[in-house]
Amino acid sequence: MTSTIVSVRNLRKQFGRMEILHGLDFDIPPGRIYGLVGHNGAGKTTTLNAMLGLTSYEGSVQVLGEDPYRHRARLMKDVAFISDVASLPRFLKVRELFQMLSDIHPNFSAEKAVGFLEGTDVRLGAVIGNLSKGMLAQLHLAVVLAIDAKLLVLDEPTLGLDITYRKRFYRRLLEDYMTEDRTLLITTHQVDEIEFMLSDIMFIRDGALILHMPMDQVAERFAQLVVAPDQSATAMALKPVFAETRFGQTVMVFDGANRDALQALGQVTTPTLSDLFVALMSRDTGVSK
């Protein structure tokens, strides 16, 4: 019925007299994998909290057609999330946790959760407080995957996990969660790891969205140029949004430049998300380095 999963208009948030979100506008359609990227303190978690009904705000937020702050309980049937600070009850055994969730959550399947734990080191009889960080992440993922959710929000889901766990984590998401009517929203600092998983990207800086577009448009709009030795001045005249010299080699990032024109000046590629992030975050700040 609702074709848009999340719809945000003029979202503002103040802590005391400090405004930390300055009027965000965005829509998230179903079937997409969204990446939300920004520095610490840029407003990522506050934005997610507003969507999850965990904080008050000004402006309008609709998640699956509901106001998350007023109808949080209803919404949580169809929304699941993992946040870095979310904690599972440490004193329960895994089996007891699943029982408790079956009792309180209408869309949770203990049977599915047990299935998702197969092949991991997490035992049903283990006390949650005794699990390692990696095992906790696996348990947490098993819990959210066992909820038949339309929207899954992951706030730094793999923080502190080693590379093997991270790979397995994302593999599980693609295998067991994603379908064309489900939506995934991820924030992470390890953006290169999920770059090819994303369908859309949002960059947030100082409480404002500075980039929001499908990934295939990123490749059309932005170009990275490794400048040939004698072409630096010509390339500079095309107004790159970012330029940096490392080991005598100059790398520039362009927004909306003609690729054919750039080809003549050096080697042209599409910047990785982390290169693009660095480029756009250092633009127009007025702060000298």
Partner 1 sequence: MPSFNETQPIFVQIRERIAAMILTESAKEGEPLPSVRSIAADLSVNPLTVTKAYDSLVALGVVESRRGVGMYVAEGGREKLLAHERDTFMSEEWPRIRTQIRALGLSLETLLKEDSK
Nearer to partner 1, 37 or 194 (CB): 194
Selected binder of partner 1 within 196, 233, 286, 288 (CB under 8 A): 196
Q: Does 197 bind partner 1 (CB under 8 A)?
A: yes
Number of residues that bind partner 1 (CB under 8 A): 19
For residue 270, the minimal CB distance to partner 1 (Å) is 7
Nearer to partner 1, 111 or 175 (CB): 175
Nearer to partner 1, 175 or 230 (CB): 175
Nearer to partner 1, 75 or 153 (CB): 153
Selected binder of partner 1 within 86, 124, 163, 219 (CB under 8 A): 219
Selected binder of partner 1 within 81, 170, 222, 277 (CB under 8 A): 170
Selected binder of partner 1 within 9, 167, 239, 259 (CB under 8 A): 167
Q: Which amino acid is at 182?
A: R
Nearest in space to 167 (alpha carbons), one of 141, 148, 200, 132: 141
Q: Interacting stretch for partner 1, rule CB under 8 A, among 45-53, 54-62, 88-96, 190-198? A: 190-198
Selected binder of partner 1 within 174, 226, 236, 264 (CB under 8 A): 174
Scanning the structure block, which residue is given the tokens 């408790």?
Answer: 100
Task: Restricting to residues 234-273, name those near partner 1 by CB under 8 A.
Answer: 269-270
Nearer to partner 1, 12 or 182 (CB): 182
> What does the per-residue mask of binding to partner 1 show for 24-63, with x meaning CB under 8 A?
-------x-x------------------------------
Distance of alpha carbon 267 from the chain centroid: 30
CA distance 188 to 271: 18
Selected binder of partner 1 within 67, 193, 244, 255 (CB under 8 A): 193
Selected binder of partner 1 within 64, 136, 185, 198 (CB under 8 A): 198
Q: Does 202 bind partner 1 (CB under 8 A)?
A: no
Nearer to partner 1, 86 or 174 (CB): 174
Q: Does 178 bind partner 1 (CB under 8 A)?
A: yes
- Residue 177 corresponds to which tokens in the numbers above? 């969660």
3-state secondary structure the chain: CCCCCEEEEEEEEEECCEEEEEEEEEEECCCCEEEEEECCCCCHHHHHHHHCCCCCCEEEEEECCECCCCCHHHHCCCEEEEECCCCCCCCCEHHHHHHHHHHHCCCECHHHHHHHHCCCCCCCCCEHHHCCHHHHHHHHHHHHHCECCCEEEEECCCCCCCHHHHHHHHHHHHHHHCCCCCEEEEECCCHHHHHHHCCEEEEEECCEEEEEEEHHHHHHHEEEEEECCCCHHHHHHCCCCEEEEECCEEEEEEECCCHHHHHCCEEEECCCHHHHHHHHHCCCCCCCC
Q: Provide the binding-site residues for partner 1, judged by CB under 8 A.
A: 31, 33, 167, 170-171, 174-175, 178, 193-194, 196-199, 215-216, 219, 269-270
